[in-house]
Chain A
Amino acid sequence: MKRLITLWLFLFSSFYVHHATAQLLALKTNALLDVAMVPNLGMELVIGEKTSLNASVFGAVKIYGNEAKILGAQGEMRYWFNGRPLTREFIGVAGSAIAHNFVLRGQRYHGDAYVAAFTFGYAFVMAPHWTLELHSGIGLMAYHQQRTYIGDRVKDNNYNARGLMLIPYNLGVSISWIIK
């Protein structure tokens, strides 16, 4: 997992360094995740007339009193239909890597998940530097995890649950602030 994060950060920063001189950079957060006690922070970098690269990290320790350790990163490439980035309709492809360890209904879920998704959304221009995005998507999640009852003793790498499932992805309301 650490390697994944490191790789992602390396890729993103290399993009940023490459394009930083001319492109817009926006800082953003998904308010829906924030409300769900999953703090998150993202960046969006405009890389073309109609394209932008979006990346974010998110994590949680407790969600409304429940133990829920989550750490994830997401990368997304967006295509803006009207030719002006961070404005109006977009579609995108995204991928996420998530490490989780949470308790739900007496069972502990501990493992990793990887998502490949198709996303879409709409960005409202609130002000020259502010944008409100409504976005959503559908993704295919691959996971492998330990699913145990609380109190069970199992080895750390003994994954007993693997699978693929379609999930709603990237649901949220994001607020972006364009730095430059």
Chain B
Amino acid sequence: MMKNILSNIKKVHLLSKTLVVGLLMGCMFPVALWAQVKEVTIHVVYYTPKEAKGMTLEKLKKQKPQNGITVLSFDNPARATEFHKKLKNNEIAESDYYNYTENIKVTESGMVVFTMNSNGAVVAVNPFNDSHEIEYLQGSMSCWIGLLNDMQTLKEVSKTEKRKPRKAKPVPSKRYGNFKTMPPHEYPIAEDWARDNGRFVLAPQFIGLEDADTLCRWEPFVKEGEDFQKTQYRRMGYNFANDTLAKYVEPGFMKSHEESTVTYSWAIEVPDGKHYKVLADKWVEDYNHPIKRDTIVLDEGLDQEPLRFLEFKVDGVKIKSHRYHIVTEAKDRKSELNLHFKFKVNDAALEEGDSINEQEKRRLSETFGMALNDANSTVDEVMIVGKSSPEGGYQHNLDLSTRRAAFIQNWVRSRFPNQFIRYKNPAAVVATWSEVADTLERQMGEIDKANDIRAIVRSTNGIEAQNRKVYALPYYESFIKPIVLPKFRVVSFSYTAIIKKLLSQQEVLYLYENDPDYRKRVKDPYEYEFLFEYLANKPKELEEMAQQAYSASHIREGNDESIQRPWPLAAYHLSNCLLARGAKNERILNPYMSNQYPLDTMSFNKNNTRQWWNDEAIVMTQISNFCHKPREDYRKARILAYNYLKDDPKYDKLKSFLRCYGEEQDSIVREAVASSSPFNKLVIYAAQDARPDLWREALKVARDTTLIPQKDYRARYLEANLMFRLFAENDPSEVFQLTPFFPPEEEKKEVIPDSIKYAGMTEWEIAQEKMMDEMEAADERQKSPEEIEKERNKQWGYPMMEACQINESALGILKGDGYFDSRYRKAFYFVWESTKKGMTKEQIIEAWRKKPSIEKK
């Protein structure tokens, strides 16, 4: 019994023990599991394969931490093992990591912290080289993972690349008028040329591109090493004044084995718009001797002329003549008049209806009448000479001459009956055959006939005998009698009058128009003054008068001052006339401007005569002279405008234009010029060499047909220039392809006949299809402006073709334009010439392709 009880008790106990243990186990597991979830710190370091040998945890802890490593934590180590195995076999992608665990972190400062099962495992993956490592935590709170970093097997290599020496390329000069300028530009001094104890010299000279003549040598550009400069005066007998290069030395020093630079620039006046290339001798010398020497090209001679097409005209200012009025006192003036009346044959009566006689009568009435009636004039003497031709009897002819003279005298008396006129006794003469011979030769060019008559006069004595022989000449009746002899049937009327007064404007005008002698005669200044006004629209005659007055003013005054400073009014008109016909002479107006006097002011000279200085009309004319092509000198014009013109808003535009012709193209000047006209906006924006944004703006203006006509070759030329600079200049291709020089091609669509295209379709389907086609075509037609512009920009050479087609002078401009390089010019000329020969685009491109590449560059 007791055994049974005991055994039962044992069973119970065993059961209870099992239960208790089971209960305990069941309760303890989550607790145990909770107890294993901890914050675990994972450190990731790297080591190289070399360091991998004998790697221990202690060593690992000393390795460098690795950032950017992806670490995945797994509470279940088996899952981690499976994951790692797949990684090894490249069966898993980075995007699939979240299928295995959600606990993924990236190391910062070489570590991450996970709250995880401390009996779990972590896997570290280096995303940069796909190396990976698994680590089982086994209850530890921290873990060190070492990733093999193959990259670390490479030693740190520092490679210092030697900078390529800068190669000095020729740079085109700028051209403003007749000035060739080079803005400050750096010339590289190569390392093997630079030295501390050396002096580098760059000595340019200008050589004609066409004729190879040397224009001049420019001042040298010099750079010295520090030692050279410091020890310069230690030389035996050194004298700074004798060192011709010392004054050109640039600040700063060059150093041995270091690339250096020397800055060069120039502004040189070139005659007649010729092109000049700039060669330079360069050498480096040490303390005593030149070490290296070379000759280089600084400028190939094709200049950039950015403002070539700028529309600019200097508006002249009319001179105020009264400033230069010279007061002339009335003085005795001798007036003379010579008239010739023609008479009938063998009669003392005038030829009726003869136009010359009528004209002479009118002149006599007007001028002689004026002289008689004017209170300030006294007719001094009247002389009347009658003349007759030699044919017939001498006595008869003499009587006839006397009667003719009396006829004119009576006629004058009848015209001016109340006047007291002192007549000299009328004279009468008979012409001789010798005079007839002279008239034949001099006036009619009949030398043979004149010689015949002279022979008769020499060989024959007596007038009657001479008459007979002359009558016998075969051409007497036909030529001498009707044509020559009437010239001798005249009466000459002449008078002299003493006039004490100035000529009126009408008199001056009358004399100028009717008296050829008057034009040649030196006149009084007031007469010139009136004539300058009168001849304003007759430039040739005005120039003649101005020249006469200008030359006469030297003679009239006769002192030194007038030689230096002739009559300013004459000088002004003369300069304007010369300017108008393109024969400008800047020296004429120089004496009237001086910085010793205020602007537009009057002063008195030693003779107490007033003089005007810096007259704005004269200054403006002089500015026009300087701005007139060829040989424009905008620099001098600018100096005049700024120093000799008043600070008046009306000159602002002029000053802006003149400033922009230099290198002073600031925003104020630029916008002032741009606002003058759309074309000027195009020009001035295109001229801003350092502003590609403004080039694009200029390009828009050039293409805007509402602003600039499409057929303006200058606009097309500038468009070509801008497109070359924007889209082609940096073209990496070895030589230009020719396609940009042709117009853009329209896309050719294959035309499928309707019978094929719509075969087998119902009417409704055909209608649908056609509608779709039309919509597609409309879409194609409606290209955005950007797309159109992009396509246009590809054809960067075509505007030049257009410019040359509109005006072939663009070809000449292109030839000397430094904005384009030689390969552009060659390619363009090739296309141009080939197109003129009638070749097609394909033929031209094929021919170009066959050309040797050396010829294309």
Which residues of A are interface residues toward B (Cβ below 8 A)?
22-24, 46-49, 82-88, 125, 127-128, 178
Contact = CB atoms under 8 A, between A and B. Distances in A.
Contacts of B234: 24, 46, 84-87, 178
A125 B196 CA distance: 11
A38 to B, nearest CB: 28
Size bracket, chain B contacts? 10 to 19
A22 B227 contact: no
Given A125-B230, A125-B231, A127-B230, A85 B236 contact: yes
Interface string B44-61: 000000000000000000
Given A24-B234, A128-B231, 18 more contacts: A22-B237, A46-B234, A48-B236, A82-B197, A83-B286, A83-B287, A83-B288, A84-B231, A84-B234, A84-B235, A85-B234, A87-B197, A87-B227, A87-B231, A87-B234, A87-B287, A125-B230, A128-B233
Nearest to B226: A125
Contacts of A87: 197, 227, 231, 234, 287
Given A83-B287, A84-B287, A49 B230 contact: no
Nearest to B289: A83
10 contacts: A47-B236, A82-B286, A83-B287, A84-B234, A84-B288, A86-B234, A87-B227, A125-B230, A127-B230, A178-B234
A46 B236 contact: yes
A112 to B, nearest CB: 36
Q: Is the interface of B mostly helix, strand, loop or mixed?
A: loop
A145 B230 CA distance: 47
Nearest to A126: B230
A128 B231 CA distance: 6
Nearest to A178: B234
Interface in B207-236: 227, 230-231, 233-236
Interface string B815-836: 0000000000000000000000
Contacts of B231: 84, 86-87, 125, 128
Interface string B191-214: 000000100000000000000000
A46 B233 CA distance: 11
Contacts of B289: 83
A84 B237 CA distance: 11
Interface in B261-306: 286-289
Contacts of B233: 24, 128
A48 B288 CA distance: 13
Contacts of B235: 49, 84-85
Contacts of B230: 125, 127-128
A162 to B, nearest CB: 42
A84 B197 CA distance: 10
Nearest to B233: A128
Contacts of A86: 231, 234
A128 B233 CA distance: 8
Contacts of A84: 197, 231, 234-235, 287-288
Counting from the closest, the 8 A-B pairs by CB-CB distance are: A83-B288, A84-B287, A83-B287, A87-B231, A49-B236, A125-B230, A84-B231, A128-B230
A47 B237 CA distance: 10
Contacts of A82: 197, 286-288
Nearest to B229: A128
A49 to B, nearest CB: 5
Contacts of B227: 87, 125
A83 B233 CA distance: 12
A23 B287 contact: no
Which of A23, A47, A88, A125 has its CB near the most chain B CB atoms (within 10 A)?
A125
A26 to B, nearest CB: 9
Contacts of A178: 234
B326 to A, nearest CB: 65
A83 to B, nearest CB: 4
A57 B197 CA distance: 33
A119 to B, nearest CB: 19
A49 B568 CA distance: 63
A95 B165 CA distance: 51
